């Protein structure tokens, strides 16, 4: 991602559009809850660009022509807000493969064509970048993945190494008050396999709630005075984390991981 981010950042200094070479779109793919949205937002913040987030299904409408109109409006808004990033979440629902969707000439066909036309229209502008996200890149219409549209495909998977897991846990607990006995390395060691960023978020919020319950019990038993307490007195201990760990169930199954590993290999052979 650092490469894509540097490309976007450097776009303004290199005047890519003068030589008609320009990276318009990046497609992030991977299991749910692995931080695709978070990454897209981080790129926009880091590059100082407006962030226009759209969920694919939100644009679809039962009235004839309205879905295409919704797509046009997104791009119009982007032109007004440029330089900006348009983030299309759940892109597969907005642009399914026309060959297999069984909707020849139907609404989805027209939606995909509209999206392609709008993206092609942007190629000259170099001030609007598109990031798409999906859990199923194999379902997306291949025309969207051609050069000049979503040029790059980037896999965003769960943290695999203990170091990567620890940095996610540290990021999520950076505002927590941790007890002196809390050992994040130990918690990482006890985490189940294939735990996503969203699962880590659940782990941390449950641990925080458990610590809050302990504090409330102390207030109820009169051990501490309610008026002297603030959220800063919630101290999260190792035990809170270990309790929370017992209840956590990874949202990515081993079958999901096998599917994504295979897909990653297939897509990496297509030189992107
Ligand atoms: N790498 C990470 N570091 C810290 N927190 C993370 C990370 N990945 C995910 N999270 C947490 O999980 C939440 C969900 O992540 P996000 O919505 O970005 O995932 P996603 O891949 O876009 O999911 P989906 O495919 O379901 O749309 C985030 O709001 C954040 O709290």
Question: Ligand 1 center to residue 201 CA distance, Å?
Answer: 8
Question: Ligand 1 center to residue 198 CA distance, Å?
Answer: 5
Question: Ligand 1 center to residue 36 CA distance, Å?
Answer: 6
Q: Is 36 exposed, middle or buried (0-12, 13-18, 19+ CB in 10 A)?
A: buried
Residue-level pLDDT at 88: 96
Ligand 1 atom 18 nearest Cα = 35
Query: Ligand 1 pocket by C-beta < 6 Å: which residues?
Result: 32-38, 89, 133, 135, 168, 171-172, 197-198, 201
Top mean-pLDDT range of 6-10, 95-99, 142-146, 195-199: 195-199
Domains of the chain: 2-158+259-268 (3.40.50.300), 162-251 (1.10.8.60)
Residues contacting 131, CB < 8 A, separation 6+: 25, 26, 27, 28, 40, 43, 85, 86, 87, 88
From 90-94, 118-122, 243-247, the region with the lowest mean pLDDT: 118-122
Ligand 1 atom at minimum distance from 171 CA? 4
Mean pLDDT of 18-29: 70
Instruction: Give the pLDDT confidence of 181-191 residue by residue, as tens digits.
Output: 999 999 999 99
- 236 beta partners: 178
Q: Name the pTM for this structure.
A: 0.86
Question: Ligand 1 center to residue 49 CA distance, Å?
Answer: 20
Per-residue three-class SS string for the chain: CHHHHHHHHHHHHHCHHHHCCCCCEEEEECCCCCCHHHHHHHHHHHHCCEEEEEEHHHHCCCCCCHHHHHHHHHHHHHHHHCCEEEEEECHHHHCECCCCCCCCCCHHHHHHHHHHHHHHHHCCCCCEEEEEEECCHHHECHHHHCCCCEEEEEECCCCCCHHHHHHHHHHHCCCCEECCCCCHHHHHHCCCCCCCHHHHHHHHHHHHHHHHHHHHHHHHCCCCCHHHCCHHHCEECHHHHHHHHHHCCCCCCHHHHHHHHHHHHHHHCCCC
Who wins on pLDDT, 167 or 82?
A: 167
Question: Ligand 1 center to residue 221 CA distance, Å?
Answer: 38
User: Mean pLDDT across the chain, nearest whole number?
Assistant: 86
Check whether 245 has a pLDDT greater than 80: yes
Do residues 200 and 169 touch, judged by C-beta distance below 8 A? yes
């Amino acid at each position: 991602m650092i490469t894509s981010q540097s490309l976007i950042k450097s776009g303004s200094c290199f005047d890519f559009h003068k030589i008609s070479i320009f990276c318009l779109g990046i497609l992030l793919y991977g299991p749910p809850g692995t931080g695709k949205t978070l990454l897209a937002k981080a790129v926009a913040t880091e590059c100082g660009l407006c962030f226009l987030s759209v969920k694919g299904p939100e644009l679809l409408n039962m009235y004839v022509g309205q879905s295409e109109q919704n797509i046009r409006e997104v791009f119009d808004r982007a032109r007004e807000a440029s330089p900006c990033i348009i983030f299309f979440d759940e892109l597969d629902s907005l642009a399914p493969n026309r060959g297999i969707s069984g909707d020849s000439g139907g609404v989805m066909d027209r939606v995909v064509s509209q999206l392609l036309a709008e993206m092609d229209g942007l190629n000259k502008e170099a001030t609007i970048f598109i990031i798409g996200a999906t859990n199923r890149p194999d379902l997306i219409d291949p025309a969207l993945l051609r050069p000049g549209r979503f040029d790059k495909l980037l896999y965003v998977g769960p943290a695999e190494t203990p170091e990567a897991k620890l940095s996610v846990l540290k990021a999520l607990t950076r505002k927590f008050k941790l007890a002196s006995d809390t050992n994040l390395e130990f918690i990482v060691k006890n985490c189940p396999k294939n735990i996503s960023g969203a699962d880590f978020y659940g782990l941390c919020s449950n641990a925080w709630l458990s610590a809050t319950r302990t504090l409330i019990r102390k207030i109820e038993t009169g051990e501490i005075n309610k008026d002297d307490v603030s959220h800063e007195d919630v101290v999260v201990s190792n035990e809170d984390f270990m309790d929370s760990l017992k209840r956590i169930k990874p949202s990515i199954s081993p079958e999901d991981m096998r599917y994504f590993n295979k897909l990653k290999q297939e897509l990496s052979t297509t030189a992107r």
